[in-house]
Amino acid sequence: MDKLKMLDLQKKATIIRKHIIDEVFSANSGHPGGSLSCADILTTLYFDEMRVDPKNPKDPNRDRFVLSKGHCAPALYATLALKGFFPESDLNTFRKVDSYLEGHPNMDYVPGVDMSTGSLGQGIATAVGMALAAKIDKKDYRVYSILGDGEIEEGLVWEAAMAAAHYKLNNLVAFVDYNGLQIDGNITDVMNPEPIADKFVAFGWNVIAINGHNYAEIKDALEAAKKSDKPTCVVARDIKGKGVSFMEGDYGWHGKAPNQEQRDQAISELDAKLAEIEAEIAKEA
């Protein structure tokens, strides 16, 4: 990946991370940890991969995205707003009673949201349905989804995985946001889903293991998926809370809002990161 492209994605992801912090802060509730861990995947999908048009969000030929781990709505909303689907200034209405930005995404309320989610395990199965529809209608759109590594403990995920392989849905790419943590602790302590990659291989998927914070690896996996005759699972090793020092790797930040002081520290860390990226962009240009 070209350096400027990478820096641009990095910049966008950092802006998205700032939005995530402020959404959760302004709502005084929500899920920062898993939102921050999947921000780089979402950024790459929406700014370097998916065929979507913010001016025509219901285009029948658009690529689809399903946030199977719907509690990470702050990340999806920030990405969609930055992409231009709705004003970034609406993000601070997140979770408020008259807002269209529900705690978990609703496809009837939010432009750019392709499926309502929030109940873990169901999103990936709906994504299988969308990918199957593309095959039935002989359309070339692709379907993307992000799952949590705790979420894959749901049996439904594996029923969906079986169906995707059975119907050879090579137009489907499912990311597992492999941050190692769920609500009650480490995934291996709560209910061990390992070995994740081997399970998807056994279910008939094309499996690619990457670093979920490396844009080039994310993009390469997306390109490799296009050459496969199977659905692709990208097992993306990443860090829950990524980008905010005190949230990184701490499951306590799964579903907790920062207080004013914590919010300010998080934003200043991300601002410093942003300044670094801007300086590098200036050097490159």
Partner 1 sequence: MGKVATREAYGSALAQYGADERVIVLDADLSKSTKTDTFKKVYPERHFNMGIAEADMMCIAAGLASTGKIVFASTFAIFAAERACEQIRNSICYPKLNVKICATHAGLTVGEDGASHQCIEDLAIMRALPNMTVISPCDEIETNLAIKAAMELDGPVYVRLGRLGVEAVHGEDFKFELGKGVVVKEGTDLTLVATGLMVQESLKAAAILADKGINARVVDIHTIKPIDKDLLVKCAKETGLIVTVEEHNIAGGLGGAVCEVLAENYPCKVKMIGVEEKFGKSGVPAALLEKYGLTAQQIADKVIAAKN
Ligand X SMILES: Cc1ncc(C[n+]2csc(CCOP(=O)(O)OP(=O)(O)O)c2C)c(N)n1
Applying CB under 8 A, the residues found at the interface with partner 1 are: 27-30, 70, 95-99, 101-104, 106, 116-121, 150-151, 153-155, 182-184, 190-191, 193
Q: Closer to Mg ion by CB, 69 or 142: give it.
A: 69
* DSSP codes joined into one string, 43-105: HHHHHHT----TT-TT-TTS-EEEESSGGGHHHHHHHHHHHTSS-GGGGGGTT-TT-S--SS-
Q: Hey, CA dihedral for 138, 127, 241, 205, is it positive or negative?
A: negative
Least distance from ligand X to the Cβ atom of residue 151, Å: 4
Helix (H, G, I), strand (E, B) or coil at 14: helix
Cβ-closest residue to ligand X? 148
**Torsion angles phi and psi, residue 237, rounded to 5:** -70, 125
x-or-dash string of contact with ligand X, 162-181, rule CB under 6 A:
---------------x-x-x
Query: Angle at the Cα of 167 (from 162 to 168), degrees rounded to 5?
Result: 95
CB of 240 to partner 1, least distance (A): 14
71 binds ligand X (CB under 6 A): yes
CB of 3 vs ligand X, minimal distance in Å: 29
| Residue 231 contact partner, candidates partner 1, ligand X, Mg ion, none, CB within 5 to 8 A by sort of partner | none
The one-letter amino acid code at 84 reads G
Selection from Mg ion, partner 1, ligand X, none that 79 binds (CB < 5 to 8 A by kind) is none
Structure tokens that stand for 100 in this block:
């269209």
Told to check if 243 binds ligand X by CB under 6 A, we report no
- Verify binding: residue 69, ligand X, rule CB under 6 A: yes
Q: Report the C-alpha gap between 180 and 263 in whole angstroms.
A: 24
**Alpha-carbon distance 252 to 249, whole Å?**
9
Query: Is there a contact between 124 and 163 (Cβ–Cβ < 8 Å)?
Result: no
Q: Which of 34, 74, 123, 193 binds ligand X (CB under 6 A)?
A: 34
The reply to whether 42 sits near ligand X by the rule CB under 6 A is: no
Amino acid at 20: I
Q: Going residue by residue from 85 to 124, which x/- string records binding to ligand X, judged by CB under 6 A? A: ---------------------------------xxxx---
> What distance in Å separates the CA atoms of residue 88 and residue 193, rounded to the nearest whole number?
37
Give the residue with the Cβ less far from ligand X, 84 or 118. Answer: 118
Per CB under 6 A, 126 contacts ligand X: no
Q: Which residues bind ligand X (CB under 6 A)?
A: 31, 33-34, 37, 69, 71, 118-121, 148-151, 177, 179, 181-183, 240, 254
